Each structure stands twice: as C-alpha cells, then as structure tokens.
Amino acid sequence: MKITSLIAGLVVATAGSNFSNSNAAELEGAWRITQVKAAPWASARPPATDLRGRSLQFYADHVVGPGALNCTGLKSEPTAYLAEGLFQGNLPAPALAAAQAFGLAHFPVRGVRLQCASGVFELHRADADTFLLGLDNRVLTLSHTPGTLAAPTAPEACVQAFLEAHFSGDMGFNQASVNAKRRWMSARLLQRIAAYFAKPQSADTVPAIDGDPFTDSQEYPARFAVAKALVTRRTAQVPVSFSDGIRDRVFMFLLVRKGAHWLVDDLRYERSETLQDLLR
C-alpha cells in the first residue's frame, strides 16, 4: 500500500511517537469481512478476489488473514481523522459526503494504524463492532457481532449470510434479487413473495412494499449488525440493527428450523407490522 508521511485531516495521530502493540488490543479476536465495496477513489477496477466472508484473527503481535492481511511483526498506533484524512487521504471531494456514504457521521473518526511486514493498514472505527479498511481499491467492512461469530448451523449465521449476500448484490425488491437469496428463505416466504409479484400492480397506486423490505428502507443503510438470537425448539428471533451512521433501526428476523437448517420465514418491523402482512 502507498503510505503518505503527512495525511491531511489528521487530528490526533498517536499517543506517542512510537508504535506499540498495546494499541491493537481492541482488535484482538476474530473479525469477519462482511462487505467489500469498490473504493470511490479507484480509477482501476478492484481485484476480482472476493474477500467477503473471510476471517481475520488478531493477536498481540500478528494477524492471521487473507493475502497481505496476513500480518507479521505487528506494531500499532491509534489514529483520529477528519473526513479529509480517512483512507490515507484518498476520499474524493467533498470528503465529508464520501465519508458519510460509508456511514461515517461523527468526526474525528478514531481507529488503529497497523504496521506489518506486508505494509501499513489503517482501520477506521465506524461503531463499536465495525471497522473500515481501504485495500487494493476496495473498502472492506470488518465486524465481530454475534452473527459473524456464530456457528454455521446457528440461526444468527443464517441471517448473517443472507444479509451479506443482500448487501453485496441487488437490494431492489424483485424476483431476481429474491432468487439470489432463496437458499436462506423458507418455502412459505418464497411462495408468498411469488404470489405478491404475480398480482397486477397499478401504476397509479403506491405498492404495499415500497422499497427494500429486508432493510425496511428506501435509502439503503450502510451496514448491519446481527445480534444474538432468542431460540425455541423450532423457531428463532434474530434482532438486526441497520445503521446509516446517524440512526440505528432494529427489527426482528423470524426463522423456522427445517431439518438441520434455519431459514428466514418472516420479518417483524419496529412498527410491529410483518413482511408476511405486507405480502398478503
């Protein structure tokens, strides 16, 4: 990675002049790459390698991760940037608007600079469970919520995989978008959605579902966080928080167990209405 010695917008660079392994203590443990977006400063196409779903394990003196993120000789220092200094000063003008598009709304944005044998990496904290990292003309979202740490057969893991696919593809509510995520949905929900699309729609009437029902929004949120599920024998309720950096909204994904698998069967929104209600 290209490293600049003086980065515009630096507010609080370090607690001292030297790197210290103790600065990375807040990162220790497992983190998952939940989103990968093309960087707004990129003039060339990002690498084709898909890092979404890959994990990083942070230790006191090294990081185990994919490619250049496999870090040895780890040293770190805290950072705090205004919008102009984020991502090594590469955000296009106006930098504030570019930063807000990634759900960064409170400045200075604090984070950690990691010095490794493979390069220097700057992680910007978006919230308590989320860091953003610029790498190879991409912006990676790193998260360690319960959904990212869940066992593969857990209901949280189903919702996590569903939303990672949703945020990486077409978030519009259409049959093709639904089909791309059908492996995580119950037969009942898929049948109701198909019946909804089959109904004649008047151009003069606002449809019952006007926007994205899986994030309950017309303007898509920047990120999501899957919390710990409340599980019974055959059903589970999984709280999910959606954030644009300013406002957090929380509603429930309702799952049913089918054999050894959990499947999304419904959503219950903040106003208590459900997706199944809207589909009728």
Q: Residue 22 — very low, low, confident or very high, per pLDDT cuts 50/70/90?
A: low
Mean pLDDT of 228-239: 97
Q: Residue 211 — very low, low, confident or very high, per pLDDT cuts 50/70/90?
A: very high
CA dihedral 68, 91, 141, 64 (to 10 degrees): 20
Q: What is the model's pLDDT at position 67?
A: 92
CA distance 89 to 194: 46
Residue 44 structure tokens: 């060339």
The domain spans of the chain are 10-144, 147-279
% of the chain residues with pLDDT over 70: 91
Helix (H) or strand (E) holding 134: strand 130-135
- Mean model confidence pLDDT for the chain: 90
The string of pLDDT tens digits covering residues 25-47 is: 789 999 999 999 999 998 877 77
Mean pLDDT of 39-62: 88
Amino acid at residue number 28: E
Residue 138 structure tokens: 């991409």
CA distance 156 to 253: 10
Strand partners, 81: 10, 109
In the chain, the N- to C-terminal Cα span, in Å, equals: 52
Strand partners, 32: 55, 143
Q: State yes or no: cis peptide before 40, omega within 30 of 0.
A: no
Helix/strand/coil for 60: coil
Q: State yes or no: cis peptide before 108, omega within 30 of 0.
A: yes
CA distance 73 to 87: 22
% of the chain residues with pLDDT over 90: 82
Low-confidence winner among 86-90, 146-150, 198-202, 227-231 (lowest mean pLDDT): 198-202
Q: Residue 18 — very low, low, confident or very high, per pLDDT cuts 50/70/90?
A: very low
pLDDT at 147 over 50: yes
Q: What class does CATH assign to 147-279?
A: alpha beta
Q: Residue 200 — very low, low, confident or very high, per pLDDT cuts 50/70/90?
A: confident
